[in-house]
């Protein structure tokens, strides 16, 4: 089986840990930011990066320390996976990502509340 270069690069950059939690999602935030972003989970830090292509990350948009975040809700329904969390007074809504159950469980378990 071929090695996943995207995940290998994310490991080398310190964006993900051994759980390999990385996904692309449509994100909206109550601070006005919205769009498609790459999400990487390393420990309890969820890093949001702009998309610079199909598998290229752009600039860091925001790093969320999930220990200080509250998981509000999530749905792994295959046709419309969603996740919502609250951090620093803002609410982040994520949708349209793959491996929803794995991603939601990882984010939820890293959240402080």
Q: Which long-range contacts (CB under 8 A, 24 or more apart) does 82-85 make?
A: 83/25, 83/107, 85/111
More confident residue, 43 or 4: 43
Question: pLDDT tens-digit profile of 64-74?
Answer: 999 999 999 99
Q: What is the mean pLDDT of residues 7-15?
A: 94
Give the percent of the chain with pLDDT over 90.
85
Question: pTM score, two decimals?
Answer: 0.92
Cα 26 to chain centroid, rounded? 10
Q: How confident is the model at residue 4 (pLDDT cuts 50, 70, 90)?
A: confident
Mean pLDDT of the chain: 93
21-74 residue pLDDT tens:
999 999 999 999 899 999 999 999 999 999 987 778 999 999 999 999 999 999
Q: Shortest CA distance to 39 belongs to which of 83, 91, 3, 73?
A: 83
């Amino acid at each position: 089986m071929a090695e996943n270069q995207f995940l290998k690069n994310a490991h080398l950059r310190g964006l993900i840990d051994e759980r390999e939690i990385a996904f692309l999602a449509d994100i909206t935030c109550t601070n006005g930011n919205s769009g498609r972003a790459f999400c990487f989970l390393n420990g309890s830090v969820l890093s949001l990066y702009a998309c610079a292509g199909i598998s290229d990350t752009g600039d860091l948009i925001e790093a969320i320390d999930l220990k200080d975040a509250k998981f509000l809700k999530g749905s792994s329904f295959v046709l419309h996976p969603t996740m919502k969390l609250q951090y620093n007074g803002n609410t982040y809504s994520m949708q349209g990502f793959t491996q929803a159950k794995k991603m939601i469980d990882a984010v939820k378990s890293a959240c402080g509340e």
